[in-house]
Amino acid sequence: MSVSQLNPAAAASPMISRQWLSEYSMPLAYLVLFAVLSATVENFFSVTNVIGLMLSVAQIGMVACTMMLCLASRDFDLSVGSTIAFAGVLGAIVLEHSGSVAIAVAAGLGAGALIGALNGVLIAYLRVNALIATLATMLMVRGLAFIVSKGQAVGINDDSFIDFGDTRIFGLPLPVLVAGACFVVFGILLNQTVFGRNTLAIGGNPEAARLAGVRVERLRVWIFLLQGVVTAMAGLILASRITSGQPNAAQGFELDVISACVLGGVSLQGGKARIFGVLIGVLIMGTVENVMNLLDVDAFYQYLMRGLILLVAVLLDQLKTRGERR
């Protein structure tokens, strides 16, 4: 008799160990990385730097929550950086002309919703490939940001609007709290609702989901609409932090967000996502950039490192996918 027949528990033990390692490898790796950097990099573990680290990844964290849904449904969005820039510029212009923070915020969020809905319709109903559709909207929306701002930064002088980026509650900046709220809300949405289950279902097998009664096209539009609204919110908060709407803001932002999601275990093949993993991926991206800034690493090398992180994230996703198929 084989060992597995004599002792099924012993045979299952290595499988459980591999599964546990696959599930918790990234959190453990981040804890080790954080401990090593705290011991070796001056000022890394200071309260000021840790809060600054959280603030620097707040916008990435917000958008990663909805990018997670896009990737889980077997899509992605390359237009998020342009949407951030356009929402910030539009909000600043509307604020300048109306003097109303509420109208400015509504205009920015409305623009984000329209951009997201456009992406969703192009991909879900018109069957345009997600790469082409979101690449086209990325270029168009960035162009609109430059057109409406005449290629110039739009200054913000309203203290109420600037408070979005400066206000602290319980010692934490408001953008950090907003990002935390996004992780809670979208974590519940993914794991505890029919919306989340259907999102994973269409990512795993769209045709099977359709046969099970899921309205796949409409759900995809809603996912992209949520993506647009949350991205616009991140753009408005960024504009409040830098006190201006910048048409060239957030260039390359979409690659950082996708890298964070894939590092966090969101599969590029769709059907698999974990909100806690996305949080760890965001923290890894932010921590690496933070350390390079503390060590005064040249910006050119920072680009190189961000590219390597993206490549590693994709390779890890491929290795996990192959391992699950065996």
**DSSP secondary structure of 77-125:** -S-HHHHHHHHHHHHHHHHHHH--HHHHHHHHHHHHHHHHHHHHHHHHT
Is residue 4 included in any domain, yes or no?
A: no
**15 domain residue, yes or no:** no
34-66: string of b/e by CB count within 10 Å (b at 16+)? beebeeeeeebeeeebeeebbbbbbbbbbbbbb
CA atoms within 13 A on the CB side of 1: 6
**Paired tokens of 314:** 């994709």
Residue 40 maps to a domain: no
Q: Please report, in tens digits, the pLDDT of each residue of the chain (326 residues total).
A: 554 455 555 545 565 666 666 667 778 888 988 999 999 988 888 989 999 999 999 999 999 999 999 999 999 899 999 999 999 999 999 999 999 999 999 999 999 999 999 999 999 999 999 999 999 999 999 999 999 999 999 999 999 999 888 888 888 999 999 999 999 999 999 999 999 999 999 999 999 999 999 999 999 999 999 999 999 999 999 999 999 999 999 998 998 999 899 888 888 888 889 999 999 999 998 999 899 998 888 888 888 888 888 788 778 777 776 666 55
Q: Give the Cβ contact number of residue 186 at 10 Å.
A: 22
Closest CA to 91 of 103, 74, 82: 103
**Quick check: is 32 in a domain?**
no
HEC assignment per residue over 211-227: HCCCCHHHHHHHHHHHH
Give residue 25's pLDDT: 75
Backbone angles phi, psi at 168, to 5 degrees: -120, 135
Structure tokens at 104: 């400015």
**pLDDT given for residue 267 in this prediction:** 85
H or E element in which residue 187 lies:
helix 174-192
Characterize the bridge pairing of strands 154-155 and 244-245: antiparallel
What is the separation of C-alpha 105 from the centre of its chain, rounded to a whole number of angstroms? 21
Q: What is the CA radius of gyration of the chain?
A: 21
Token pair belonging to 190: 């993914």
Report the alpha-carbon distance of residue 290 to residue 50 in Å, rounded.
9
Model pLDDT, residue 15: 56
Residue corresponding to tokens 């996703």: 317
Q: What pLDDT score was predicted for residue 164?
A: 84
CATH of the domain at 95: 1.10.3470
Tokens linked to 101: 């923070």
Tally of domains within the chain:
1
What pairs with residue 173 in β-bridges? Answer: 168
63 lies in some domain: yes
38 within a domain of the structure (yes/no): no
The Cα–Cα gap between 245 and 228 comes to: 17
* 27 inside domain: no
Predicted local distance difference test score (pLDDT) of residue 3:
46
On whether residue 21 sits in a domain, the answer given is no
Domain carrying residue 58: 48-321
